[in-house]
Amino acid sequence: MSKPTLAAIDAATTIFNLPGYRVLDAASMASGRRRVTVESVDPPGCPGCGAVASRLKERRLQRVRDIPVGGLVELVWAKRRWFCDEALCARKSFSEATVQVPRFARSTRRLTDQVVSAVIGSGRAVSETAASFKVSWWLVQNAVNRAALALPDVDSLAPRMLGIDEHRYRSVRFFQNPTTKAWRRYEPWMSTIVDLDTGQILGIVDGRDSTGVGDWLKARPLAWRLGVQVVAIDPSAAFRKALRMWLPRTAVSVDAFHLSMLANNMVTEVRQRVTQETRGRRGRSVDPSWANRRLLLKGTEKLSDRARNRLDVVFAVDDPTGRLEAVWKVKEHLRALLRTGSLHDAEHAKAELARLVDLADLPETRRLYRTICRWWPEIEVLITTGATTAKVEANNTAIKHIKRTARGYRNPDNYRSRILLTSATRTAA
């Protein structure tokens, strides 16, 4: 009788596949679940002195949350308490703990690993994962937070190039002052610091001003800060202020995409103003400038012959003052300036840009040129190093996906943990 019974137990242990445990009993419950009773097989060591125990003191049953194995399972651990026979040890007895169920744990390690993998690896919402594994929302979120705390320390890394950009992690909110009854607009922004070589997010700070980024850089060791050679940012005076204060020897590069976006905004403003002045109304689909508004923003090297002919029609028919064509030329020459490969060519392109701005003689073009002059040192770094915030924007896209999946986070710490862990997982992969 003992031989078949041992074979059945071994088979059940193999099927259940909980490392370090063997199945003692399995029974069906009225709710449809199965109750599986297990006990540990590894000899326990005293946490005080490390001596392997040999005398059993007592046994008690402890319910442990575990993954579904062929359906929902109620796991019961026949947990034993042992005597410590070492005379010099202060602990006279101790309860056993394993790798799968550490001390004070109420869930198996494989359960926490799988819920973290579902949230981070598969991109599922915490609430959806909790419902799928029949556990609480807090268990899943705490597992994600603990996994984030186990990430390598940022100070132990040695990034060579950084990128900084901001994103809004919640929608705009309004708060009323209880005393003055005045409403205040609040935009919950976060700024991300990314290693441009690996694409991994190194830090997330609240706000998009110089204080948050500056405090994060200040907390880094001096050797860490001295190792940073280039930092890429968008045209943000707040970020540049923080970098000048805490990374004074580091070259700062301004992102070409954001400068091109400023030029596109300039073209749109002039187009709208010309339409209002010439037609006395907003643009309509019958207006060539409005119908081809996207072509005005497209790079000239990407235009087909047909598209270029359409733009020529816009400038000939719907631009009586020539201002729209003038700002379009300024925009295109700025894009050509940002593509130059040497500082010598960039200086010549800047002089030509100044000439086109003088010919246009518009407030929008003069404002853009003043911005270019204020950021010229950073543009020179961009031309010589090619450092952009492309990997930061890629991370912002992943962050927006996390935000949509989670349906909004109320706790920024939970949001930060998931972002850091997702970025580290994708970088390692």
> In this predicted structure, what is the pLDDT of residue 335?
95
Give the per-residue pLDDT at 395: 92
Site of tokens 């137990």: 9
Is residue 114 within 8 A of residue 124, CB to CB? The reply is no
3-state secondary structure of 152: coil
| Cβ atoms of 30 and 51 closer than 8 Å | no
Averaged confidence pLDDT in the chain:
91
The closest of 398, 393, 389, 405 to 420, measured between CA atoms, is: 398
Give me the pLDDT at residue 408, please. 67
Q: Which pLDDT belongs to residue 173?
A: 82
Are the C-beta atoms of residues 292 and 314 closer than 8 Å to each other? yes
- Per-residue pLDDT band for 117 (boundaries 50, 70, 90) equals very high
Tell me the pLDDT tens digit for each residue of 355-409: 999 999 999 999 999 999 999 999 999 999 999 999 999 999 888 888 888 776 7
In the predicted structure, residue 234 carries a pLDDT above the cut 70: yes
- Most confidently predicted of 12-16, 125-129, 165-169, 368-372: 368-372
Q: In a 3-state reduction of DSSP, which class is residue 407?
A: coil
The β-bridge relationship of strands 93-95 and 73-83 is antiparallel
User: Token pair for residue 211?
Assistant: 């204080």
pLDDT, position 429: 64
DSSP states along 365-396: HHHHHHHHHHTHHHHHHHHHH---SHHHHHHH
CA-nearest of 17, 193, 4, 258 to 114 is 17
Q: What confidence tier does 136 reach under pLDDT thresholds 50, 70, 90?
A: very high
What is the rounded CA–CA span in Å between residue 68 and residue 133? 7
- Taking 3-state DSSP, the helix, strand and coil percentages for the chain, each rounded to the nearest 5, stand at 50, 20, 30
Which run of H or of E encompasses 422?
Answer: helix 412-428
Alpha-carbon distance of 326 to 356, in angstroms, equals 7
Average pLDDT over residues 406-428: 85
CA 182 to chain centre: 34
Of the pLDDT bands very low, low, confident and very high (cuts 50, 70, 90), residue 154 is: very high
Q: Considering Cα of 103, then 107, then 111, then 113, what sign does the dihedral take?
A: negative
Mean pLDDT of 32-44: 89
* Higher per-residue pLDDT: 324 or 175: 324
Contact 195, 224 (CB under 8 A): no
Classify residue 312 as exposed, middle or buried by CB count within 10 Å of its CB (0-12, 13-18, 19+).
Answer: exposed
- What pLDDT score does 71 carry? 86
pLDDT of residue 20 exceeding 80, the answer is yes
> Does residue 246 have a pLDDT over 90?
yes
- Residue 276: which pLDDT band, with cuts at 50, 70 and 90? very high
> 21 by DSSP, 3-state: which?
strand
Residues above pLDDT 70, as percent of the chain: 97
φ, ψ (nearest 5 deg) of residue 26: -145, 135
Section 161-168 average pLDDT: 93
Domain residue ranges of the chain, discontinuous segments joined by +:
2-106, 108-150, 154-255+388-428, 256-385
Report the pLDDT value the prediction gives residue 1, as an integer from 0 to 100. 40
CA–CA separation, 318 and 257 (whole Å): 28
- Identify the DSSP state of 287: S
Q: Model confidence over 336-350: pLDDT tens digits?
A: 999 998 999 999 999
Residue 3: predicted pLDDT: 47
On the question of pLDDT at 5 being above 70, the answer is: no
Return d(Cα 261, Cα 269) in angstroms, integer: 12
What does the pLDDT read at residue 9? 54
How many C-beta atoms lie closer than 10 Å to residue 303's C-beta?
14
Cβ(404)–Cβ(171) under 8 Å? no
The pLDDT value recorded for residue 70 is 84
Specify the CATH architecture of the domain 154-255+388-428.
2-Layer Sandwich (3.30)
